[in-house]
Amino acid sequence: MTKPRSRRVPRVLVLADRRPDGLDEVAAHADLVCVPEARLAAELPAADALLVWEFGTEALPAAWPGGGGGPRWVHTASAGVDRLMFPALRDSDTLVTNSRGVFEQPIAEWVAGQVIALAKDFAGTYERQRGRVWQHRVTERVADTYAVVLGGGPIGRAVVRTLRALGLRVDLVGRSRRDGDPEVGTVHAFGEFGELLARADWVVCAAPLTAETEDLFDAAAFARMKRGARFVNVGRGPMVVEKDLLAALEHGRLAGAALDVFRQEPLPADSPLWDAPNLLVSPHMSADTVSWLDDLAAVFADNFARWRTGRPLRNVVDKKLGYVPVAAAEPSAPTAPEEGA
Amino acid sequence: MTKPRSRRVPRVLVLADRRPDGLDEVAAHADLVCVPEARLAAELPAADALLVWEFGTEALPAAWPGGGGGPRWVHTASAGVDRLMFPALRDSDTLVTNSRGVFEQPIAEWVAGQVIALAKDFAGTYERQRGRVWQHRVTERVADTYAVVLGGGPIGRAVVRTLRALGLRVDLVGRSRRDGDPEVGTVHAFGEFGELLARADWVVCAAPLTAETEDLFDAAAFARMKRGARFVNVGRGPMVVEKDLLAALEHGRLAGAALDVFRQEPLPADSPLWDAPNLLVSPHMSADTVSWLDDLAAVFADNFARWRTGRPLRNVVDKKLGYVPVAAAEPSAPTAPEEGA
């Protein structure tokens, strides 16, 4: 029998009703405890790390310990971290990491599919099929149309690559201007967005929710868009003023829209968005493929192994920006768990 | 006043109820006459050329003059020429040309959209939206899945390029094997189709209808496919034994299908295909974009200018093969109208 290690094994909370698959290696090196939302406040003070597996939670701000307590590392099984940017966590020394790498390709495929589906009126074809109606229509090419993608992070970049592969002309708008970006060429500054928006056939929102982007798509923005343009949102719901989007669709300013995110999720049954003209309501699933839970567990397990052994973490969120800067996706900021502390 | 030309102006029939836009330049150099199907038999013997604008017509075989008469050039406003390959025309000296160049990109986009729509269950999302049902599901990535495209012509090639751009692995099956094809790499021989079919996640039919391809997708072919594979047809309906496809969908052998072509079009209202599980019925419109009529007129006008001035035509159909060979898409076979004959 080997002697038990004298150093304390880190206590890792998982916000989930049951332990996700794929965390055996974590459990071998941690005191891994799954807690439901109701027990979060009681468990957080003694935790070294928190895996926010149920990433739709809104329980964290109320449960977070006061007085600078709380785990030193929080990892979320999502790309967006807006739900973690409440003051007590944002202003703390706690490191926040996300699940960048899991969602980009599926989301980009979903966006490409919605662009084609809107251009070719797939929804109208499904609708007619239900009534056994054979009705030929002429539709649109997507090649050579022009799209503006808002969001310079990995999701926006994957969308740009995918739409360009389909022959669209695409501009990417990020936080600040950068020329000669090896992946996408020019990244336009946020200040250029209004001008590019006005020329776009397609406007795709793939940005993080921040103070700057909240309510960005309002009546003024839709009024600035080309008549007949279409809008796709895979970012976060609160970036869109939904009643303004509804009006833009009803007045024909926009020819269509596809939303995978909403201000309130699930979208309430009485929301007028459900039957807005030419609007697709998708239940926040564009990123979620058959392997997504395994992929999410693997991302956390990799970061846990780094944390445990004192190596830099991947996907460290810049809490001032509210997202993982492109340059910080790969390990760069050294951090170590204080075992035995 | 200039003296009228002594040479006879060629008489060009257009099978259409009214003259299509975009043929002014043709009309300036031809006796251009639009005829409905009912007058075709009476007008064909004196015609020099025929533009089959209403390309869905089935009137041509009965209307074609006997005894080796009939126009010396027939151009169809379609990619497929199967309706023109009746014996009297096929065995004549009449040149047949098609509208290659107009349909490839829209069809390829439609196929790519259907592949994504099937992988991401867009149909299920539309269906739930009708009932205001928010139901998250996990779906599939398309990147790194494997597709086999049947049809070595321009449509099949455009499909290959587009699916590859989305990250799929794609093999193309044509008539005979060709390595080092500059556009697609290897073209597999028709004899290899059965073997590739068995490995495919996606089988796309973009082949011309010929004696060899008729009824190709029958119970045996579907049985050879991977369980859970999906099928897309943008070729011609008679390549598919529809009752066998229906059975393959009902038994779950195939996880889905998207058809833009059918044995009988419009699809009869009592066809069981309308509500087959996971089958999309599209009313033969994948190729047809807002600019398609202009594009079709331009293709004919270009060929007419060539014909009138004795230059080689584009898109000359090899009547033994029943389609335009890739190498013959660009002008190669000299031909001249016999003005004054």
Q: Percent of chain A having pLDDT more than 90?
A: 85
CA dist., res. B34 & res. B43, Å (int): 10
Q: How far is B128 from chain A (nearest CA, A)?
A: 9
Tokens representing residue B310 in the block: 């004795």
If we measure between CA atoms, which residue out of B148, B183, B143, B180 comes closest to residue B165?
Answer: B143
Mutate to test the interface with B, among A21, A103, A107, A116 (most CBs of B within 10 A): A116
pLDDT at residue A11 above 90?
yes
Set of chain A residues whose Cβ sits within 8 Å of the Cβ of B109: 116, 119-120, 141-143, 166
Set of chain B residues whose Cβ sits within 8 Å of the Cβ of A137: 283, 285, 288
**Residue B68 confidence (pLDDT):** 81
**pLDDT (average), residues A283-306:** 94
To the nearest 10 degrees (0 to 180), the angle between helices A122-130 and B104-120 is 70
CA dist., res. B79 & res. B155, Å (int): 9
For B105-143, the pLDDT digits (tens) are 999 999 999 999 999 999 999 999 999 999 999 999 999
**Residue A340 confidence (pLDDT):** 32
Q: How far is A103 from chain B (nearest CA, A)?
A: 10
**pLDDT (average), residues B191-213:** 96
CB contact under 8 A, A280 and B129: yes
In A137-156, the residues whose Cβ lies within 8 Å of chain B are 137-143
- The half-sphere exposure of A326 on its side-chain side, counting CA atoms within 13 A, is 18
Set of chain A residues whose Cβ sits within 8 Å of the Cβ of B262: none
Q: How far is B141 from chain A (nearest CA, A)?
A: 6
Q: How far is B136 from chain A (nearest CA, A)?
A: 5
What pairing do the DSSP bridges indicate for beta strands A185-188 and A178-181?
antiparallel
A228 touches chain B (CB under 8 A): no
CB contact under 8 A, B109 and A143: yes
Class of domain A11-101+291-328: alpha beta
If we measure between CA atoms, which residue out of B115, B128, B237 comes closest to residue B170?
Answer: B115
Set of chain A residues whose Cβ sits within 8 Å of the Cβ of B117: 113, 117, 122
B282 touches chain A (CB under 8 A): yes
Contact A140, B140 (CB under 8 A): no
Q: How far is A125 from chain B (nearest CA, A)?
A: 6
**pLDDT (average), residues B67-96:** 93
CB-closest option in A106, A109, A132 to B166: A109
Tokens representing residue B299 in the block: 């293709």
For B270-280, the pLDDT digits (tens) are 999 999 999 99
pLDDT at residue A1 above 70?
no
**pLDDT (average), residues A228-256:** 98
**Residue A327 confidence (pLDDT):** 64
A128 touches chain B (CB under 8 A): yes
CA dist., res. A136 & res. A3, Å (int): 77
> b/e map of B199-219 (b: 16 or more CB within 10 Å)?
ebbbbbbbbbbbeebeebbee
For B41-58, the pLDDT digits (tens) are 999 999 999 999 999 899
A280 touches chain B (CB under 8 A): yes
Higher pLDDT, A334 or A71: A71
For A162-179, the pLDDT digits (tens) are 999 999 999 999 999 999
**pLDDT (average), residues A273-285:** 97
Dump the DSSP string for B273-297: GGG-TTEEE--S-TT-BTTHHHHHH
Q: Does residue B26 sit in helix, strand or coil? A: helix
Q: What is the homologous superfamily of the domain A104-281 according to CATH? A: NAD(P)-binding Rossmann-like Domain (3.40.50.720)
Dump the DSSP string for A189-245: PGGGHHHHHTT-SEEEE-PPP-TTTTT-BSHHHHHHSPTTEEEEE-S-GGGB-HHHH
Tokens representing residue A192 in the block: 């250029």
**Residue A25 confidence (pLDDT):** 95
Residue B221 pLDDT class (50, 70, 90 cuts): very high
Q: Is the backbone of residue B189 left (phi > 0), alpha (psi -120 to 50) or beta?
A: beta
Q: What residue type is B96 in one-letter code?
A: V
CA dist., res. B181 & res. A293, Å (int): 41
| CA separation, residue B52 to residues B75, B300, B313 (Å) | 6, 10, 16
Mutate to test the interface with B, among A138, A160, A168, A284 (most CBs of B within 10 A): A138
pLDDT at residue B338 above 50?
no
**Residue A251 confidence (pLDDT):** 96
B20 touches chain A (CB under 8 A): no
B272 touches chain A (CB under 8 A): no
CB contact under 8 A, A290 and B143: no
Q: How far is A56 from chain B (nearest CA, A)?
A: 13
Mark whether B83 is an active-site residue.
Answer: no
Tokens representing residue B28 in the block: 């300036």
Cβ count near A136 (within 10 Å): 11
For B22-38, the pLDDT digits (tens) are 999 999 999 999 999 99
**Residue B66 confidence (pLDDT):** 87
How many CB pairs below 8 A link A and B? 140
CA dist., res. A251 & res. A230, Å (int): 13
pLDDT at residue B341 above 70?
no
- A11-101+291-328 against A104-281: fold identical: yes
B113 touches chain A (CB under 8 A): yes
To the nearest 10 degrees (0 to 180), the angle between helices A122-130 and B122-130 is 60
ipTM of the complex: 0.80
Set of chain B residues whose Cβ sits within 8 Å of the Cβ of A289: 138-141
B264 touches chain A (CB under 8 A): no
CB contact under 8 A, B134 and A285: no
First to last CA, chain A: 26
For B140-198, the pLDDT digits (tens) are 999 999 999 999 999 999 999 999 999 999 999 999 999 998 889 999 999 999 999 99
Mutate to test the interface with A, among B128, B137, B141 (most CBs of A within 10 A): B141
User: Which residues of A are designated catalytic?
Assistant: 236, 265, 284
In B285-314, the residues whose Cβ lies within 8 Å of chain A are 285-286, 288-292
CB contact under 8 A, A283 and B140: no
CB contact under 8 A, A138 and B292: yes
Contact A22, A44 (CB under 8 A): no
| CA separation, residue A292 to residues A20, A99, A295 (Å) | 12, 11, 5
CA dist., res. B212 & res. B208, Å (int): 10
Set of chain A residues whose Cβ sits within 8 Å of the Cβ of B163: none
Q: How far is A93 from chain B (nearest CA, A)?
A: 35
**Residue A329 confidence (pLDDT):** 59
CA dist., res. A7 & res. B234, Å (int): 66
CA dist., res. B29 & res. B308, Å (int): 8
Q: How far is A338 from chain B (nearest CA, A)?
A: 38
Which residues, 6 or more positions from B155, have their beta carbon under 8 angstroms from its beta carbon? B79, B103, B104, B107, B108, B206, B234
CA dist., res. A222 & res. A214, Å (int): 15
Dump the DSSP string for B187-213: EEPGGGHHHHHTT-SEEEE-PPP-TTT
**pLDDT (average), residues A251-265:** 97
CB contact under 8 A, A274 and B139: no
**Residue B333 confidence (pLDDT):** 39
CB contact under 8 A, A110 and B123: no
- Hey, where are the domains in chain B? 11-101+291-328, 104-281
**pLDDT (average), residues A120-133:** 98
CB-closest option in A114, A125, A167 to B280: A125
Contact B275, A123 (CB under 8 A): no
Helices (H), B211-291: 219-224, 242-250
CA dist., res. A311 & res. A332, Å (int): 9
CB contact under 8 A, B138 and A285: yes
- Residue A208, preceding bond cis, omega within 30 degrees? no
CA-nearest residue of chain A to B135?
Answer: A283
CA dist., res. A178 & res. B303, Å (int): 48
Contact A215, A193 (CB under 8 A): no
| CA separation, residue A98 to residues A39, A55, A83, B127 (Å) | 23, 10, 12, 33
**Residue B330 confidence (pLDDT):** 56
For B293-336, the pLDDT digits (tens) are 999 999 999 999 999 999 999 999 999 888 888 765 555 433 43
User: B258 pairs with which residues across the strands?
Assistant: B232, B280
Set of chain A residues whose Cβ sits within 8 Å of the Cβ of B288: 136-139
CA dist., res. A292 & res. A99, Å (int): 11
Mean pLDDT over all residues of chain A? 92
Contact B148, B168 (CB under 8 A): no
CA-nearest residue of chain B to A139?
Answer: B289
CA dist., res. B277 & res. B256, Å (int): 7
CB contact under 8 A, B139 and A266: no
What pairing do the DSSP bridges indicate for beta strands B202-205 and B229-233?
parallel
